[in-house]
A = this chain, B = another copy of it.
Amino acid sequence: MGNCCEGVENFFGRQKNTNIRISLPAVCFVWQIAMIILFGVFIRYDKESDVRKWIEYKKSHNFTSDAENDFYFRYPSFQDVHVMIFVGFGFLMTFLKRYSFSGVGFNFLIAAFGLQWALLMQGWFHTLDPADGKVYIGVENLINADFCVAGSLIAYGALLGKVSPVQLMVVTLFGVTLFAVEEYIILNLLHCRDAGGSMVIHAFGGYYGLAISRVLYRPNLHQSKRLMGSVYHSDIFAMIGTLFLWMFWPSFNSAITNHGDGQHRAVINTYLALASSVLTAVAISSMSQKKGKLDMVHVQNATLAGGVAMGTAAEFMISPYGSLIVGFCCGIISTFGYLFVTPFLEKYLKIQDTCGIHNLHAVPGMLGGFLGAIVAAAASVEVYGKEGLTQTFGFEGNFATRSVLTQGGFQAAGTCVAVAFGLVGGTIVGFILKFPIWGDPADDNCYDDEVYWEVPEDEETLPPVLEYNNHMIHKHQDISESNFSVEQS
């Protein structure tokens, strides 16, 4: 007992103040009121969601049918993306044995927080009407807001278990802001195509999270080692997240591509890449273990790498077998990442990456950006048709004369911009998070829902009670056993 009691003393000696009773409500209220004011000033329904404007628009375009409303082209995909953001990311982060409340709960909080800011930031940069200074929103803005938030949720994956909800809101606030700026540079100034966000979402979000995690390095994190792993049922909860991400990734990559063939093709490409990366992720997982046993970490994560990597190229004519090759390679790379790179990063680069976002988002996203550059550079009039080339790459207006080779170069440059934004932005945000005011947990208190949640009594206490109950109903009373139960409970 001696050691144990010393532990307790030590513990209280080092305990951080994790009380967020003032900071969390303050941030929530101040922020939400700010949002209401800014929305009041800037945000309006667009011509397809405003009743007066839609009636006028239909008349002026001689539409006979409401089916032309963008809503019907995008809403099913939006709902799939929405599921990915809240259930996909949320449940993927429930895998820790005692951090599932925070995994799914804080994901919920920061996504709902971030998407409002994203509507504003992206609106100012992309859909501000210079005539009246208003931002007009429709379903495509909602999809983009979800996308924008995804970058910060990816960063949460690296920080899972080591930060407070207030810190996460700071991460999201800056994450969304940085996202909107890099997206403006990449999509508007460089005129890249990146419908599924290999660059702007995954590469940016991945390196953003890794940089923050580097600055927040905890040398004594091993003190929370007892809570670092999963338990049987938490791994199954995480599979809910994995599967909803996997199934709906075709919608993610096609949600904002061109109507018609664009959405259709992006779905096919993503579907194939994902199928392919399941097989190679499983293969490498099995090969890496003496008895060939599979590792849930790989099945939960590396199987998704194909979807990340197709984020840019999904809408291009990469061809079905090309998609399979992308998934093939990324399944391998991602699983190898979990096996070798994550331990390396922790040991030598002092980057503690709880969910392994390096292997699932940062690297596959960056590779996906460069892949997009290559596929764009290889585009030809024979394959796309002249009109198709214009449509697919948006060679219109200022960019009407751009060649596919130039486009490829800009795509590659865009990838570098995304990575740079992630690294630099993450470093700065990391230092902001080091201020001792955010209520982050102590080193021996990480990965523990107890810190920020009212956790129900242990399940441990349940079975004796139930046993007691069952006894009364079904079973002969065994005196000695009952005694034991009572003592235990």
Query: Complex formed: what's the CA distance from A317 to B49 in Å?
Result: 9
Q: CB distance A55 to B251 under 8 Å?
A: no
* Oligomer: number of copies: 3
Q: CB distance A25 to B286 under 8 Å?
A: yes
Q: CB distance A233 to B235 under 8 Å?
A: no
If A109-B279, A264-B71, A275-B112 touch, whether A235 touches B456 (CB-CB below 8 Å) is yes
**Complex interface bits, A77-101 against B, C-beta within 8 A gives 1, otherwise 0:** 1011011001100110010011011
User: Count of A residues near B, CB < 8 Å?
Assistant: 169
Q: CB distance A388 to B52 under 8 Å?
A: yes
Q: CB distance A243 to B87 under 8 Å?
A: yes
Query: Complex formed: what's the CA distance from A248 to B79 in Å?
Result: 7
Instruction: Please indicate the chain B residues that have their CB under 8 angstroms from the CB of A56 in the complex.
Output: 385
Q: Could you give 7 example pairs across A and B, Cβ below 8 Å?
A: A4-B477, A20-B286, A21-B289, A79-B250, A101-B235, A109-B282, A229-B457
Instruction: Tell me which of A154-162, A293-301, A346-354 binds B.
Output: A293-301
Instruction: Please indicate the chain B residues that have their CB under 8 angstroms from the CB of A385 in the complex.
Output: 51-52, 55-56
Q: CB distance B482 to A51 under 8 Å?
A: no
Query: Complex formed: what's the CA distance from A450 to B325 in Å?
Result: 32
Query: Complex formed: what's the CA distance from A56 to B65 in Å?
Result: 19
Q: CB distance A139 to B264 under 8 Å?
A: yes
Q: CB distance B287 to A1 under 8 Å?
A: no
Q: CB distance A319 to B44 under 8 Å?
A: yes
Identify which of residues 269-310 in chain A touch chain B, using a CB-to-CB cut-off of 8 Å.
271-272, 274-276, 278-280, 282-284, 286-287, 289-296, 299, 303
Instruction: Tell me which of A32-40, A197-205, A420-428 binds B.
Output: A32-40
Instruction: Please indicate the chain B residues that have their CB under 8 angstroms from the CB of A43 in the complex.
Output: 320-321
Instruction: Please indicate the chain B residues that have their CB under 8 angstroms from the CB of A453 in the complex.
Output: 293-296
Instruction: Please indicate the chain B residues that have their CB under 8 angstroms from the CB of A259 in the complex.
Output: 66, 69
Nearest to A35 among chain B residues (CB) is B324
**Separation in Å of the A33 CB from the closest CB of chain B?**
8
**Pick the contact of A25 from B35, B40, B283 — CB < 8 Å?**
B283
If A231-B456, A235-B456, A247-B83 touch, whether A51 touches B261 (CB-CB below 8 Å) is yes
If A28-B280, A283-B24 touch, whether A71 touches B260 (CB-CB below 8 Å) is yes
Indicate whether A392 reaches chain B with its CB closer than 8 angstroms: yes
If A21-B289, A79-B76, A267-B71 touch, whether A5 touches B477 (CB-CB below 8 Å) is yes
Q: CB distance B388 to A280 under 8 Å?
A: no
Instruction: Please indicate the chain B residues that have their CB under 8 angstroms from the CB of A52 in the complex.
Output: 383-385, 388
Indicate whether A29 reaches chain B with its CB closer than 8 angstroms: yes
Query: Complex formed: what's the CA distance from A231 to B7 in Å?
Result: 28
**Pick the contact of A282 from B28, B58, B246 — CB < 8 Å?**
B28
Instruction: Please indicate the chain B residues that have their CB under 8 angstroms from the CB of A19 in the complex.
Output: 291-292
**Complex interface bits, A87-122 against B, C-beta within 8 A gives 1, otherwise 0:** 100110010011011001100110011011000000
If A108-B303, A142-B267, A289-B454 touch, whether A243 touches B90 (CB-CB below 8 Å) is yes
Indicate whether A395 reaches chain B with its CB closer than 8 angstroms: no
Indicate whether A486 reaches chain B with its CB closer than 8 angstroms: yes
Instruction: Please indicate the chain B residues that have their CB under 8 angstroms from the CB of A388 in the complex.
Output: 51-52, 55
Q: CB distance B265 to A32 under 8 Å?
A: no
If A48-B264, A52-B384, A79-B251 touch, whether A112 touches B324 (CB-CB below 8 Å) is no
- 6 smallest CB-CB distances across A and B, nearest first, come from A21-B292, A66-B260, A52-B385, A51-B388, A112-B278, A28-B283
Indicate whether A460 reaches chain B with its CB closer than 8 angstroms: yes
Indicate whether A465 reaches chain B with its CB closer than 8 angstroms: yes
Identify which of residues 377-393 in chain A touch chain B, using a CB-to-CB cut-off of 8 Å.
383-385, 387-388, 391-392
Q: CB distance A44 to B320 under 8 Å?
A: yes
Query: Complex formed: what's the CA distance from A265 to B47 in Å?
Result: 10
Instruction: Please indicate the chain B residues that have their CB under 8 angstroms from the CB of A466 in the complex.
Output: 98, 458, 460
Indicate whether A410 reaches chain B with its CB closer than 8 angstroms: no
Instruction: Please indicate the chain B residues that have their CB under 8 angstroms from the CB of A271 in the complex.
Output: 142
Instruction: Tell me which of A176-184, A214-222, A467-475 binds B.
Output: A467-475
Instruction: Please indicate the chain B residues that have their CB under 8 angstroms from the CB of A321 in the complex.
Output: 36-37, 39-40, 43
If A100-B236, A463-B458 touch, whether A86 touches B292 (CB-CB below 8 Å) is no
**Complex interface bits, A39-73 against B, C-beta within 8 A gives 1, otherwise 0:** 11001110011111111101000000111111111
Q: CB distance A459 to B450 under 8 Å?
A: no
